[in-house]
Amino acid sequence: MTTTLDVLIAVDKVSKSFTGAAGDELQVLDGIDLNLRAGEIVALLGRSGSGKSTLLRTIAGLIAPTTGSVRYRGQELNGANPGTAMVFQSFALMPWLTVQDNVELGLAAQGVPPAQRRDRALKAIDVIGLDGFESAYPKELSGGMRQRVGFARALVLEPDVLLMDEPFSALDVLTAENLRTELMSLWGTPNFPTKAVCIVTHNIEEAVLLADRVIVLGANPGHIRAEVTVDLARPRDRKSAAFEALVDGLYDLLTGREPDVTVPEPTEATPTARPLPVVSVGGLAGLVEIVYARGGRADLPDIAAELSFEVDDLLPLVDAAALLDFLFVAGGDLHLTPMGSAFTTADIQRSKKIFAEQARHRAPLVRTIYKALASSADGNLRAGFFLDLLRRGFSTDDAQQQLDTAIDWGRYAELFDYDTDTGQITLDPAHWTALTTEHRTPA
């Protein structure tokens, strides 16, 4: 393995936008600067919407940046990056080809003669631990073995940079751990056939286990929020104080507010400035109950590990509970607020009233819908009215997700209801009566 720090790939001020089906422009990446150097493993870590996979595909030359450039060994890309090979989350094997044929695919595309292709493929199959399965078809293999084929197919090309897009996330926990360990063993050998690795992950422990540098991406649009150096000897001990400190620090980065970024308070924010986390009421209530059961304070990494959830699964629930002032996050720990304690200990009717008050004042889109209905002639408005407004700040799909979430929260809180047949959102009769009575009462 090379130990020099030559820059193999340089990403310079890369931004990327896509045009949606409705003609809307969606910016996915914004001003990314990143160097990938020989002798290092770099992890791209971020929440959903941070553009991790888009950035990886831009580095691979599969997606062209809207602005900025990607250079491989000083040459600007104008197509596929000749110095990279990709391992995908979904294995991406050809089901009609044998293991050996799948591994030879890239070599065939490069015009390598058949005899040489065969020798190189068999060597890669041996290195990755698939001896004896050369003639097997993907359907005969377990998930872990299919991903080994994906690794062999990439490594046989002897790329300068191995790109991996969440390569372990489709595997069970034990298989993923085994493959990570074997990959690190191979990386430590002098004949590892690649000079650098860049891996996309949303698993914080995985990033600390594998990487020399962790690039933390912020979302909407994707941008580099922080760069964390992992200066730990391999193999790494998950139980060491240094390892746990890095994990907690990364959790804090992913859950905390960004420095120099002003985020409006929920009571004052617009629906686009503070989007609703796309979670159910039951999900966020369950998280609050877990924290309450632990005495009002819980370690976020511990909850994720015990529930077998990834960071992307838990963080929207954390965001929702924080938005409603049921929890707050500090140093990777979740802390119950007095309002959260009242919410989780009340009987169901009182709990719903607490949720209704918090949602009506602190969930911007719920508040906007409630106020619009209260100002209407009869407490009714078409859902399309809100969708049109939301599409000014969200993609078509995200706008629909925002509205669906607001309707789910509003229904639970008995603030308003939605008729799927007519497409009408209607203020709850009790609220409409209270509002009209208030307006009729003399001052």
Burial class (CB in 10 A: 0-12, 13-18, 19+), 240: exposed
Q: Which two tokens stand for residue 20?
A: 């949606």
How many other C-beta atoms are found inside a 10 Å radius of the C-beta of residue 123? 15
64 backbone dihedrals φ, ψ, rounded to 5°: -85, 135
What is the structure's pLDDT at 169?
A: 79
Cβ neighbours of 196 (radius 10 Å): 25
Element holding 32 (H helix, E strand): strand 25-37
**Which pLDDT score, from 0 to 100, does residue 418 have?**
95
pTM of the model: 0.77
Ramachandran region, residue 23 (left: φ > 0; alpha: ψ -120 to 50; beta: rest)? left
Helix (H, G, I), strand (E, B) or coil at 56: helix
Order the strands of the 7-19 sheet from edge to edge: 25-37, 7-19, 67-72, 75-76
Alpha-carbon distance of 295 to 289, in angstroms, equals 10
Question: Which residue carries 């591994």 as its tokens?
Answer: 103
Q: Give 201-238 pLDDT, tens digit per residue.
A: 888 889 999 999 999 998 878 899 999 999 999 889 98
Region of 28 on the Ramachandran plot (φ > 0 left; ψ -120 to 50 alpha; else beta): alpha
**Which residues, given as ranges, of the chain have pLDDT below 50?**
1-4, 440-443
Can you say whether the dihedral through the CA atoms of 202, 207, 208, 209 is positive or negative? positive
The two tokens of residue 235 are 């193999």
pLDDT in tens, 106-142: 888 888 888 998 999 888 888 888 888 888 898 898 8
Exposure of 335 by Cβ count < 10 A (0-12 exposed, 13-18 middle, 19+ buried)? middle
3-class SS letters over 260-329: CCCCCCCCCCCCCCCCCCCCCHHHHHHHHHHHHHCCCEEEHHHHHHHCCCCHHHHHHHHHHHHHCCCEEE
Return the structure tokens found at 348.
Answer: 């169901």
The strand pair at 196-201 and 161-165 is best described as: parallel
pLDDT at position 93 is 85
Residue pair 173/310 in contact (Cβ under 8 Å)? The answer is: no
- Please report the pLDDT score of residue 10 as a whole number: 95
Q: What is the pLDDT of residue 2?
A: 42
**Residue whose C-alpha is closest to residue 30's, from 45, 15, 8, 47:** 15
For residue 250, the tally of other CB atoms under 10 A from its CB is: 24
Which amino acid, one-letter code, is at 114? P
pLDDT of residue 1: 42
All structural domains of the chain, each given as residue ranges with its CATH number in brackets, are 7-255 (3.40.50.300), 363-440 (1.10.10)
The answer for 296, left when phi > 0, alpha when psi is -120 to 50, beta otherwise, is left
The residues, any chain, with a CB within 8 Å of residue 115's CB and separated by 6 or more, are: none
| 259-268: long-range pairs with CB below 8 Å, 24+ | 266/323, 266/324, 266/325, 266/361, 266/362, 266/363, 266/364, 267/361, 267/362
Residue 77 DSSP code? P
pLDDT at res. 439: 56
Q: How far apart are CA 79 and CA 320, in angstroms?
A: 41
The one-character DSSP state at 63 is: S
